[in-house]
A and B are shown apart, each in its own frame.
Chain A
Amino acid sequence: MRAVLPLLLGLAACQALPRLAEDPDVPGSILSGQVLIEGDDAAAPTVVLLSSEDAPMPPVGVGLPISFTALDATAYGPAAGGVRSAPFALTDVPPGGWYLTGLLDADRNFHPGVTALATPTCGDRVGWHGESFTAFEPTPIGVPEGTFVQGVSVGPLVPATEPHPTFTTDATVSLNGLPTLRLESTAVSGRFGSPALELTTGAVWPGGDPVCAPSFAFVLADADGDGAVDDSPLVPVPGLFDDRWPRVVFQWLGAPVDDDGDGVTDGFDRGDDEDVQIAVLGDPRLPDGAADPAPEQVVRTATLDVRFSGLGLRILPDGEQELLTDESQLPRGAWGVTVITRQGLLWTVPNELDDLQAAALPEPGRTTPADPSQGVFLLLE
């Protein structure tokens, strides 16, 4: 069966209404608390996203948000102790462990239903529920069955200072063998007006903040400070993979299909694996074989070489996960690319800037001209 938009990563899942507590005999819970921002920050519409402990959202993992709630800028109260807060609540939350991610949409370009806009952008405020208000450590919260869980804090939300990792890449680059691909960053501005959806590419980032200039912040993680690069949390086996930022994930789209024979891909056919998700880690390196920097040393670069690692996960419809370690386990066909920064900023190609993915958008659709560079995908033959 052909599918146009089966994306593993990003917030594309919020284009569909999530199904939460479905069992009437297992009552859902309410998660309630406050979103925090610094006192002098300008308030803006804010979303709180809920993701499972088993499949956490970036930057912790590469999972999808299960649900979200939103609140207006007027929800923030006056500053107290240097902090302003706004109440939030998520309802029908099933029992289990959950991550909460907060996003204050300072530049008003967020929308949960459009992949290209369902991500923080440079200038937004981002944060998580964590054990510490200062440490950059998202922490899951346990939710019992049928309980009103109160006093959950998200944040304080801090400015996303990393550049938005908008990028493009060459089309139809073969991934056979140990391919590499070059990611070149670019700037994309997205705005969701009312009612039109405007997505445009451009070389100049709105606001002109040099921090947000298009580039990748490349860093090898050493969160425990032992001087050695950490193991990637995305791979359950230690020692197999370094924790490198930005994280790059390839996701299987299916076999490209050209219905009308015009040489342009109209969609992807996943066959019997319609509901199976397959993600493979990319191994990002500095271009031109440059040596890795020291752990926690940030290097700004306009391009990244990414190797197709062959390590990945196969996630079945029932949630069961299978570790993939051999290229022969990977399906052939088209693969999308997602880049995730350490602050959880994210970009995916193909996306709705191009007509291929835009076709799946509900009314009013995209009203700006297509950018074919955002419609590219990679082929594994």
Chain B
Amino acid sequence: MPPCRAPSPPVRSTATRPSALRLTAFRRSALRLIASRRSALLLALLVWAGPAHADPRDDARRHFRAGLEAANAGSYREAIDEFLAAYAAIPHAATAFNIGRAYEDLREDDKALYWYQRFQEMEPGRAAEADDAIARVQARLQPAPVAAPVPAQDDPLDRLAALDAERAALAASLRAQGVEVPEIAPAEPEPEVEPAAAPDVPQQPSPAVADAPEEPITPDAPREGFLTDAYERVIVTASRYSQDPLDAPSSITVITSDDIRMSGAVHVADILRRAVGVDVTSMTAGVPYVGIRAFNGEMTNKVLWLLDGRPTSLEFLATPMPVTLPVALDEIERIEIIRGPGSAIYGANAVTGVVNIITKRPGEGDKAVLSASAGANRFVAGSAVASGTVGKVGYRFSAGYQQEGRFEQELTGIDEEDGTAAGFSLDQGLGEQRVRAAGRVDTTFADKGWVSLSGGWSRGTTEYASKAALGYFGLEGDVGHARFDLAYGPFHLRTYWQREEGYTAPWLYSRGGSRTPGAYVRDDVADVEAEGTFEARTGKVGHRLQVGAGYTYKQYRAGVRTEGFLVPRVEHHGKVFGQYELSVDWFRAMASLRYDRHPLIPNATTISPRGALVFRVTPTTAIRASAGSAFRAMNGLESYVNLELGTTADGYFVNFYGAATNPNDTGVPGDDPDDLGAEQVINAELGVRDESSSFHALDAAVYWNRVTNLIDIGSVTPQLGGFQPKANGYPFGYASWINDRDTVYDNFGAELDLTLFPVDGLDVFANVAISQVLAATPTGTTEDGSTSLVHANLGVLYRSPVRLDLSLSGHLTSAQTWQIPTFGGEGEVIRERAEIPARVLMVARIAGRPVLKPELELALTLWNPLGFLPSPGTSGASVTAYREHPSGQVVGPRLLGTAALRF
């Protein structure tokens, strides 16, 4: 495999429109294909089907590999057919080169010359690599260095030229009738090919050409002279740099922009349902909670969410709420999901996995996208995205709005005018309402440098499910961020600032009662991080060293009353990390180590190591083994909460403290065994990934996680106290967050993930995950039934040639048994057993694209259609309605129509 390359600038420098010469040559080449029946069909599809709007990467990849196989076998005509099909799906410089190479092998030097020149046009920085080939063909074509016109009447090209004229006339006639007959023009270049920089910036590299293999890799390696690195899947999250998934030390799933579009999902979290080992629990309509492998639940906090490589979550609550991100689904290039701990790479909170939302680079993709959706349950959404380039500067701006009704509404008769009791929102039925805006500008400088400036903001009201019996809360406010990146050569500097400011309170609360009052929250995070990546070779051994350091400033303000809010809590964090990778042909070894300095946690518990070995048993099959540890730090709520917590009796409250506000604590981290500390996980994993055919991708893994020191709500210590006017009630006692030091959780699991690409336009995904959690306490070991034993997903996505897309998926989650914590009569934490039966969530989407320029897509999505079925239940819930959590609302159906214009 070619060595990994240095980061390329984020702004494409080679975007060109097809030249007339190229167009003519391509049509000649296309017409050549008429000679074969298959080619005729292919041509028809090219003429009538329009551009492959849906994700053609898999199709392009499959054709490209088929072309390499054919070339390796000496079947150059077949190879050309396959390369042309790949090029028609997504033009790529390597594909152009290979077409030229195949023509050269056939001694059709005029065509070979055209395609070599096309390669140079698409990749001017690598033009020199084609110089030798061009020199060869030109030598044979003397005196004419350029492809000569068609010479003789009986030349097959003459016949093809006549057909070419007929075709052009026919196409003109059809256009006059309003039928869209596309020009055979390249779409936007494949953004995934070039290994990119550190994953902090969504690197959408130019389609650079990898080196030719140094030696054939039998049996699948092509003949020498053909380029192999095109359309390959690239991930960035597993190791903070671009790499082939086969080389990744972790189990990883990639969800592409086309997957997102065809999923019909309205929330980023819902998109993840199709991924193996991912549990999505919708307790409310707007905030599904995402867990990976195990330990999902209300206000889940075991998965680290990244936006273009930088952490994003609401700092105080430290639970990811992707709904607050100022990112439209149309802006997402792909989502990478790492299953397994990731603290060695990303620091705190990557306990069971990492989700990295990677947005499209400015200037890539559609120039503009306007979309509007409306549907049942008051669903309304609108989005506008504009993207382009001005010289070397790329830009992308977006704005949007989304709202949705709650799945369930507890009470009827809410009177908006009544002043005695009210909900969080006067509109009790609307569970999510948000506006957002974002922008990003990138530019390059001095060949090896690039700069990026981005920011975003969202404002709205969101309902979320809080812990245990606290019920539903509302969060109203703003989330905003600004980010700056500067890179030059192997060095990268990233800095960002994020603020969240708002008000959170129970969704239904009484005025005149002492149930948990609302809290004003304002958190600021400012982070600066610098890293460098250095590569070297000693003979056949490749070395890669990545080191970095950073500082994070955090300020929390949270208070039920102004005095609490005005007192800021300031934290200073530091981080140092390093990763070394050694590679020898088919073998890679990686060692990572990271230290995070947290002011409230003893240092020894924030060191995160990871080691991994990857064996390429074949060029397309890899076995990986990894082990490491991770931790989850206390969030702002767990550190600084100091409020009166409502109880089931409105007149009683419980004083609830955090790690730094507990009056019984000295405030010195680690000096008391009862001090709140980080959650810990150690992990070992074995996996295999196979892409030995162009029609499938298979990933299998077995793993073990051991989790200790989980943070939970401690029992209430009863303590009497007099009436508290500000709290409108009497103290029942006090409680605080505690580490569960008595329970050791062992999570064993296995995952099998299969994706099939049997024919153009058809993707089938099927995966199953088995996960069992055993909880060992001093009194014995029991099974933690809150994690489903089985998750299975099955889906079919079909992008038909007649511009009609169909997708259908089913997501099975086996039964769960939850132990819901609540306070007993004397304030002790008791766990009430609650069972959730097995359930299947189905999603269906149909979309058509009646107009191509600009492209108009009309789609109808049906999400959880079983939720529409009537029921004799008093609450009106469906007979097949289900909850995904005992404390969650009955998951409702979604029926929505979407219209999208793409320019």
Contacts and interface: CB of A to CB of B under 8 A. Distances in A.
Interface of A: 14, 16-20, 24-25, 27-30, 32-34, 45, 47, 67-75, 86-92, 105, 108, 110-114, 145-151, 192-195, 197, 361-364
Contacts of A71: 512-513, 728
A372 B823 CA distance: 34
B508 A30 contact: yes
A361 B720 contact: yes
B647 A17 contact: yes
B718 A363 contact: yes
B730 interface: yes
A73 B728 CA distance: 9
Interface in B412-441: 412-415, 418-421
Given A67-B649, A69-B650, 10 more contacts: A24-B887, A32-B420, A45-B723, A70-B730, A74-B725, A90-B513, A111-B730, A146-B411, A195-B719, A197-B720
Contact of A362 (B650, B719, B729): B719
A194 B510 contact: no
B722 to A, nearest CB: 4
Contacts of B721: 194-195
Interface in B800-859: 823-827, 834
B733 A70 contact: no
26 contacts: A17-B649, A18-B825, A19-B825, A25-B873, A27-B410, A30-B421, A32-B421, A68-B650, A69-B651, A70-B513, A70-B723, A71-B512, A75-B728, A86-B512, A87-B419, A87-B512, A89-B421, A91-B509, A113-B730, A113-B732, A148-B412, A148-B414, A148-B415, A149-B413, A195-B722, A362-B733
Interface residues of B, number: 49
Interface string B635-677: 0000000000001111110000000000000000000000000
B509 to A, nearest CB: 8
B17 interface: no
Interface in B506-556: 508-515
Nearest to B428: A148
Contacts of A28: 410
Contacts of A362: 717-720, 733
A113 B827 CA distance: 13
B874 interface: yes
A14 B720 contact: no
Interface string B698-728: 0000000000000000000111111101101
Contacts of B717: 362-363
A292 to B, nearest CB: 40
A146 B875 contact: yes
Interface of B is mostly: loop
A95 B883 CA distance: 23
A112 B651 contact: yes
Given A17-B648, A147-B413, A89 B420 contact: yes
B213 interface: no
B515 A17 contact: no
Interface in B851-903: 873-875, 886-887
Given A72-B728, A150-B420, A89 B722 contact: no
A74 B511 CA distance: 13
Contacts of B421: 30, 32, 87, 89, 91, 148, 150
Nearest to B730: A112
A45 B722 CA distance: 11
B512 A27 contact: no
Contacts of B875: 25, 27, 146
Nearest to A67: B649
A334 to B, nearest CB: 23
B514 A69 contact: yes
B46 to A, nearest CB: 57
Given A70-B723, A192-B720, A195-B721, A27 B411 contact: yes
Given A68-B651, A363-B720, A89 B732 contact: no
A269 B42 CA distance: 90
Contact of A114 (B648, B720, B826, B834): B720
A91 B512 contact: no
B410 A146 contact: yes
B733 to A, nearest CB: 7
Given A112-B651, A148-B421, A363-B720, A17 B824 contact: yes
A147 B508 CA distance: 12
Interface string B131-151: 000000000000000000000
A364 B719 contact: yes
A79 B21 CA distance: 91
A297 B55 CA distance: 92
A174 B647 CA distance: 43
A65 to B, nearest CB: 9
A34 B513 contact: no
Contact of A34 (B415, B420, B823): B420
B651 A47 contact: yes
A61 B873 CA distance: 35
Contacts of A47: 651
A90 B650 contact: yes
B467 to A, nearest CB: 16
A193 B420 contact: no
A146 B649 CA distance: 18
A17 to B, nearest CB: 5
A67 B729 CA distance: 12
B725 A45 contact: yes
B651 A91 contact: no
A285 to B, nearest CB: 38
Among A17, A149, A362, residue most surrounded by chain B Cβ atoms (within 10 Å): A17
Contacts of B726: 72
Contacts of A147: 411-413
A141 B826 CA distance: 29
Contacts of A364: 719-720
Nearest to A110: B723
B651 A89 contact: no
A148 B421 CA distance: 9
Among A14, A29, A87, residue most surrounded by chain B Cβ atoms (within 10 Å): A87
A88 B420 CA distance: 6
B739 to A, nearest CB: 24
Nearest to A49: B651
A364 B412 CA distance: 43
Contacts of A17: 647-649, 652, 732, 823-827
Shortest 7 CB-CB contacts between residues of A and residues of B: A89-B510, A362-B718, A16-B825, A69-B650, A70-B651, A87-B420, A89-B421
B417 to A, nearest CB: 10
